[in-house]
Amino acid sequence: MQTSKNPGASSSQPTPVKPTMPQQSYPFWLGGAGATMAACCTHPLDLTKVRMQTIHSTNGGPIRPSTLSILRTTVTETGFRSLYTGLSASVMRQMTYSLVRLGAYEKMKARLSKDGPAPASHLFLAAMVAGGLGGMAGNPADILLVRMTSDSVRPPEQRYNYRNAVSGLVTLVREEGVHGLFRGIGTNLTRAVLMNGSQVGSYDLFKQMLLRNKLPLVDYQLQDGLLLHSIASVLAGTFATTVTAPADVLRSRLMAAHGKSHPIEVLTTALREEGPRFLFRGWTPAFIRLGPNTVLMFVFFEQLKKGWRVLFPADYVL
């Protein structure tokens, strides 16, 4: 008679562990490249926003320029090419500020998500820390960008007349010293922390929400693709514009100013002369600029990551 096998033998066998796929890594500079591509498309709107924020009151009364009036004046007085004044500073800014803030966030997010999806609070905190690092790295380029884009709305004797970002950087250090590179660093760091938290952190949150839920009214389930990236980035751009508007206005005023100036002095003077609405001056061009910029930045970034996965399917760190 054939003896039967121990029925408990199979249950004592260890459960095979499903192998996990290695986490895809991307080069640190990839986000900066995507942000630079986006900035080249939206630079005229960035220029318009800065000029609206830095125009002061004249003849004792506040002036309220509109987005269209600034664009029209710029084109009629100095030509279409002037809409790209300061583009070299914008590229320098993206390859310092955005490169660090996006690269650092991606590295932190990868560590936080190593054992599963990270909580939203952790992602927001990581985005804010990365934003602070980017704000410090990009502060000199921010100063150059504000000065170069706002030069034409100044009296001739107060213009900086930087030829490009590199010559402007040299002139800035020569005339104001190394400490001049840190002008407005406080408000810029505040803005950078708020921007990265509200833009990059909320983008991942909106993506997760849209993937989990169907779109209202149309009853459509989004997939991880171009449409999802576009909708999530529009929502992130709207949220980020509103959160960062006050710090953005103060930063532009401080960086555009001649001589020493203090944030509290700038704030109280502007509140007295222009009222609290000045804190949201330039919101429309900021949104018109940040909305498309956010969409293009994340779309370019996602496509660059997709291309990188095709070229380097194995785990690759640079």
- Residue 179 predicted with pLDDT over 60: yes
Whether residue 214 contacts residue 220, with contact meaning beta carbons closer than 8 Å, is answered with yes
CA 307 and chain centroid, separation:
22
Query: In 65-224, where do the E strands start and end?
Result: none
Closest CA to 199 of 266, 297, 97: 297
88-97, 234-243, 280-289 — which is least confidently predicted? 280-289
Question: What is the per-residue pLDDT across 26-49, written as a single tens digit (0 to 9) for each?
Answer: 899 999 999 999 999 989 888 887
Rounded to an integer, what distance in angstroms lies between the CA atom of residue 197 and that of residue 248? 15
18-27, 68-77, 90-99, 247-256 — which is least confidently predicted? 18-27
Report percent pLDDT > 90 for the chain.
41
Per-residue pLDDT at 59: 35
Neighbour count for residue 153 (Cβ, 10 Å) = 18
CA 1 and chain centroid, separation:
78
Backbone dihedral region for residue 219 (phi beyond 0: left; psi -120 to 50: alpha; all else: beta): left
Distances (CA, A) of 212 to 76, 120, 123, 205, 266: 49, 14, 18, 11, 45
Whether residue 127 contacts residue 201, with contact meaning beta carbons closer than 8 Å, is answered with yes
CA 2 and chain centroid, separation:
74
- Residue 73 predicted with pLDDT over 90: no
Distances (CA, A) of 178 to 76, 87, 123, 169, 175: 38, 23, 34, 10, 9
Per-residue pLDDT at 50: 82
Rounded to an integer, what distance in angstroms lies between the CA atom of residue 275 and that of residue 266? 12
Domain boundaries, the chain: 30-55+64-311
For 161, residues 6+ apart whose C-beta sits below 8 A from its C-beta are 151
- In terms of average pLDDT, the best of 15-19, 76-80, 92-96, 221-225 is 92-96
CATH class of the structural domain 30-55+64-311: mainly alpha
Per-residue pLDDT at 94: 95
Per-residue pLDDT at 16: 46
Rounded to an integer, what distance in angstroms lies between the CA atom of residue 31 and that of residue 91? 13
